[in-house]
Every structure is written in structure tokens, then in C-alpha cells.
Amino acid sequence: MNDAHDLELLLRSGVPLVQMETRQEQRALALLDRLQGPLGLPLYRWSVTEGLARVVGGLGMEGEHREPHEVLARIKEGAQAGLYALLDFHPYVDEPVHVRLLKDIALRHEATRQVLVFISHRIELPAELSAWTARFQLSLPGREERLRIVREVAREWKQAHPGRKVKAEAEALDALVDNLAGLTPAEVRRLARRAIFDDGAVTGDDVPAVAEAKHRLLNRTGVLGYVFATERFSDIAGLERLKRWLELRREAFRRGEGPDLPRGILLLGVQGCGKSLAAKAVAGTWGVPLLSLDMGALYNKYHGETERNVREALATAEAMAPCVLWIDEIEKGVAHGGEDGGTSRRVLATLLTWMAERRAPVFLVATANDISALPPELVRKGRFDEIFFVDLPDAATRAAIFVIHLDKRGQAPALFNLEELAAATEGFSGAEIEQVVVAARYAGGERVRHQDLMEAIRQTRPLSRVMAEHIGRLREWGRTRAVPAG
């Protein structure tokens, strides 16, 4: 973390407007305060509640000019060289008078040496000011820094409990420090206290709770969901090729580095055949958090906000790494077409750029039901490590699905003729077989009979028959252009 050096270089480069998007306001102000001497520039701080004040030794003095247009006019007219930290100015940046004042200040920068630093949780200056604007991002603590903070918290607990020491499992401590990546120093300290002060120990039980709390801190847009109920491939029938493929890459992903880091898969197939279960099972089997990206929640009526939501969601996923990012029915968010003013094309471009450039161990699992709606640039070779097709289950897999769902509902699978049930459900998806078991249980009560299952099968019209032409085309595409998952 060498923010002071990096910010000093930026300010010496002659840029007059600096955007600092951060919730660490005090840390940002302290950083600017440190640079007063090296830059030879006084620091001023403005907020709408306290006005403009000179900062001396970290303290503000002589507050005045509270109104936004007043402070900008005062800076322009006074022509006083300095660093001007404008706090939470984001609601006012788009007003035409303010834009003109900011432009006037920027144009006179070489003569006045005035630098305006906008500090807010979110700030986007108008496009007409982009030529004079630069962004600065406060760095986040690295692994050694996070470990130091955790140890400090452990010492705090020890001081509060004389004669006792924090018990820490080595593997759990490593996992805790890894899961605190992507957070500010204050957030790292807060979550470390939550883990340690609970019982004076760091165990494997603390890691999932910290991951969940971290997600709540980072996911401020609400676009990403944290999926608690993951699965295990041992609980999913079929998909043997997919299981082997993932098992071979498990350790490489867990290491989290290297040129051949697994990046993601696309699961195409018939609805109800286990694509979503497979996405959950990747996270469950690999032992990492599962995040769900809601493509519908991304879209915003204001120009540019949708793409911003995408960028923030992907940045959050990287901060949660190592993790699995699941995009269900991805075609609904990036389908080509001109009905939305090009928003879906921009979303696709943002996603493709991230897929190509990301370095964090975020394994992308995208699922799709309609291959015709997917843009060709998404499915071309190299975007995903592999494209798998999840087909309708064969007879052996259908029998295994019956076993899973009967057993889950307290029914003994050995009491049923599984071969007959599998033969009778030709063309059924896994979800449709589950509903057969559910219907039979309602009909038979606590004790399901074989004839109840057969009757439920006779009453079911599977999707493969209702939409035979569409499903047929999809299966033909999958057989010739994707790797079978089963």
C-alpha cells in the first residue's frame, strides 16, 4: 500500500480534477493532509454542512461558503493555490453553472495550481470535464497487512481476557485472511473482531459467516446474490464428464494463480436437466462462495447506469475471490437486438472485456436454454474453457434421479421397480421426475406406492413432447457443437 506516493505523482502530473470514489473519507483526507508539505500546497476541505475551511494539522478552520456554487466561485475568484477536497459533491456536479465553473478552474490550473479532489462513495463528473479529470483509487490491504490486522484483533481479545489466548486453527486462519481480501482496513478489522470476539477462536465455522458478512458489505447495488444452499456432485445424478472435468481443475483453481487458472464454463441444455444444480455443485464441491448475478436487476433506465452496475458487480465478485460466479439464463441479459438502445450490447462488451482481462480466481458458470439468443462473440472458442451440453437424462440417470428424490422424502428406493420407472419416463427432465415423486407423495401420503408414481407419470406431459421441435433443434445443436456433460 503506497497510496501517498501514487497520489503525489498524480497531483504533480498537472491534473486539476481528481475523482476519489471511496467510503474511507477520513483516510482520504489524512492522505491529502500528508501531501501538503511535499507538494507545497495548502489543503482546504468543503462540505455542505461545514462550508470551506483550511485544514491545519488535520483540523478545519474558518468554515464558510456552504453553498456549492459559492465555494466554486470562491475558488475561482480567489485563485489561491491549493488542494481542495470537496466532500459528497456528487448531487451537484451536473448543474450547468457548476460545470462551467469547474471548467474555468481547470483551464486556469497551470497559472493557479488549484486541484479539486472530489471525495464521495460515488462520483461521476460530466463528460465535458473528462479532458481535465483523473481517477484515484485507494488501495486495499494485501495479505500481510490483513494478517497483521487479524493478529492485532487477537491481541485486543487477549487483553480483554487476561490469562487466555486466542485458539486458531492454521488452515482456518489462512482461509479467514484470504476471505478478508477486497475490504478496507476498517472492514477487515470489523470482520476479524466478529470472528474472534465471538468465542476467542478462529475455526472453520468462522469462514462462511465472514464470507457472508463480506458479501453484505460489498454488494451495495443488490445485483449480486449470495447463494447459501450449494450442492455436492455426489447428490446429482449423471453429468459424469462435467464432474471429471471439474475435479481435474479443482486444485489449480484453489491455488488461485498461474497462466492456466480455470476461468469458466457455459452450460447449455434442456430446461430442468440440472444446469443450475451443476452451478451450485461447482461451488459446493470446490468449497468456495457462490455468487449469483441477476441479469434482470442490472438494467437501469438511466443511461450508463446499467454498465456501471455490471462493472461494480464484477468488481465485487473479484473482491470475493476465490468464488464461483453464476449467471443463470445469460441470454436474457446479453441477447442481441436493438430494442434497448444498445444497452445489451454494451453489457456484453463489458462482460467480454472482464472475461478476457480478469486475474482474480473467479470461476464463471453461465447457463443458457436458448442458444439462438446468444451472440456469437460470447460462444466462440476461448471465451469459456469449455461449453457443455446438458441433455435429457438417459435411463440409468433417470433411475438414479428417482433414488435421490425418493430417499430425500423418506421413501425406500429398493421397494420400487426403478427400471420400470426409468423406462416410463423416457424424455423426462430431472425436474419433471422430481415433480412426479412430489405428486405421488401427495396422492399416497406418507407411504408412496409404485402405482402412485406410475399414475403421476401418466398425468405428466414433459417439455420434450410439448415443445418437441424446439427441444429437438436444441439437442441436435448440442450433440454436434458442445461437449456432452453426461
pLDDT digits (tens, 9 = 90+) for 226-271: 877 666 776 777 788 888 998 899 888 887 777 778 999 999 888 8
Question: What's the whole-number average pLDDT of the chain?
Answer: 86
DSSP output for 338-387: STTTTHHHHHHHHHHHHHHH--S-EEEEEEES-GGGS-HHHHSTTSSSEE
The 10 Å CB-count burial string (b at 16+, else e) for 249-261 is beeebeeeeeeeb
**Integer angstrom CA distances of residue 59 from 11, 26, 33, 180:** 22, 12, 10, 32
Q: What mean pLDDT is predicted for residues 61-73?
A: 82
- State yes or no: cis peptide before 322, omega within 30 of 0: yes
pTM given for the model: 0.71
Query: Which residue, among 114, 163, 97, has the nearest Cα to 15 in the 3D structure?
Result: 114
Q: Is the pLDDT of residue 327 over 70?
A: yes
Q: Highest mean pLDDT: which of 102-106, 174-178, 359-363?
A: 102-106
Q: What is the band of 221 on the pLDDT scale with cuts at 50, 70, 90?
A: low
Q: Is the pLDDT of residue 472 over 80?
A: yes
Nine-digit cell string for 430: 430431472
Q: What mean pLDDT is predicted for residues 282-308?
A: 74
Q: Answer yes or no: are the C-beta atoms of 286 and 217 closer than 8 Å.
A: no
Q: Is the pLDDT of residue 170 over 60?
A: yes
User: How far is residue 230's CA from residue 282's CA, in Å, rounded to a whole number?
Assistant: 8
DSSP output for 462-481: -HHHHTHHHHHHHHHHHHHH
Q: For residue 303, what pLDDT is reported?
A: 46
Q: For residue 39, what pLDDT is reported?
A: 94
Q: What mean pLDDT is predicted for residues 103-132?
A: 93
Q: For residue 301, what pLDDT is reported?
A: 47
Domains along the sequence of the chain with CATH: 3-135 (3.40.50), 143-218 (1.10.8), 227-390 (3.40.50.300), 395-466 (1.10.8.60)
The H or E element spanning position 291 is strand 290-293
Nine-digit cell string for 463: 417439455
End-to-end CA distance of the chain: 47
Q: For residue 226, what pLDDT is reported?
A: 80
Q: What is the band of 31 on the pLDDT scale with cuts at 50, 70, 90?
A: very high
